[in-house]
Amino acid sequence: MKPNLSLEIEGATVRFGGVVAVSEVSMTVDVGEVVGLIGPNGAGKTSLLNSISRLVPLSAGSVHVFGQNITKIAPYMLPRHGVARTFQVVQPFANLTLRENVAIAAMFSLKSLPKLEAMDRADAVLERTGLTHKAKMLPAEVTLADRKRLEVSRALAMTPKLLLLDEVMAGLNHTEMDAMIHLIRELQQEGTSIVVVEHVMKAIVAVCNRIIVMQNGKKIADGNPKSVLNDPTVVAAYLGQRYVDRQSKTQSASVSGVQK
Ligand SMILES: Nc1ncnc2c1ncn2[C@@H]1O[C@H](COP(=O)(O)OP(=O)(O)OP(=O)(O)O)[C@@H](O)[C@H]1O
Ligand SMILES: [Mg+2]
């Protein structure tokens, strides 16, 4: 593994019975790089994240992070390797406050923390994600956007060096999305490597150094955003001609209002 890689996946295959959710996917993420992972529903994006985070086993292939083989480690060891993720379907502890939810994550981080320090870290993270004023509320008492922010907060509490984000923009309004984009950029500036799974193209274009496209479990494109988003195979498989037409009309770096 090259020394400047935060993630290296080789030939990853994930099977669910007869369904091949991920088929021989290889990809890398440089240290400090933000890589977008896009593709149609059912393409295998979440399954690939699940295989990195050891929630589903690989039937073939390997995963290295920061030079270490994590293909067979237990999922709870992930934070010790500097890896944290969010879940597409948010999964907070329902009867704990937002602050407690984040503190629990901090307690299981790279360097596990005692309770008081974990609470301090939770406060710092909630400040950063804009949830301080809701810290004492339960997950069910806040909006979906806030629960997405909580999900990101829980991952950040683990002080990850590699962060895997699964659709954290879904359901956010423009202001909330801009705040999330700002946060991702800040994390990158601090040296965090990030994989962004997302259908919201505005966000992908705003934060990604590189884009990987999956379809039917396979990787069909991998390259700089401009070339990937203009690749006819990607347009046919996912983006659609409407996206390309709109792009040429706006002629701007910001992709206004396009979700898919
Ligand atoms: N636990 C599971 N058991 C059986 N099949 C599964 C399981 N998880 C995913 N699949 C199947 O694997 C394939 C890939 O699904 P996956 O959720 O990884 O796609 P995705 O790219 O994340 O889609 P979306 O954009 O809708 O989130 C789909 O055919 C899906 O039905
Ligand atoms: Mg998914």
Among protein residues, the one whose CA lies closest to atom 31 of ligand 1:
42
| Tens of pLDDT, residues 55-87 | 999 999 999 999 999 999 998 889 999 999 998
C-beta of 215 in contact with ligand 1 (< 6 A): no
Does any ligand 1 atom lie closer than 6 A to the CB of residue 47? yes
Atom in ligand 1 nearest the alpha carbon of residue 50: 18
Q: Which atom of ligand 1 is nearest to the CA of 167?
A: 27
Closest CA to 75 of 48, 57, 101: 57
User: What does the pLDDT read at residue 253?
Assistant: 47
Rounded Cα–Cα distance for residues 53 and 114 (Å): 24
Residue indicated by tokens 């705040």: 179
Q: How distant, in Å, are the alpha carbons of 90, 125, 156, 167, 229 from that of 255?
A: 27, 29, 27, 18, 12
**CB-side neighbour CA atoms (13 Å) of 211:** 25
Distance in Å, CA 240 to ligand 1 centroid: 21
Q: How confident is the model at residue 2 (pLDDT cuts 50, 70, 90)?
A: low
State the ligand closest to the CA atom of 86: 2
7-35 residue pLDDT tens: 999 999 999 999 999 999 999 999 999 99
Q: Which residue carries 């399954």 as its tokens?
A: 47
User: How much distance in Å is there from the Cα of 32 to the middle of ligand 1?
Assistant: 28
Average pLDDT, the chain: 91
Question: What is the value of pTM for the model shown?
Answer: 0.92
pLDDT at 51: 95
- Arithmetic mean of pLDDT, 230-252: 78
Domains within the chain, CATH numbers bracketed: 1-81+162-260 (3.40.50.300), 83-159 (no CATH)
Nearest alpha carbon, ligand 1 atom 11? 21
Q: Is the CB of 160 under 6 A from ligand 1?
A: no
> How would DSSP label each residue in 153-171?
HHHHTT--SEEEEESSSTT
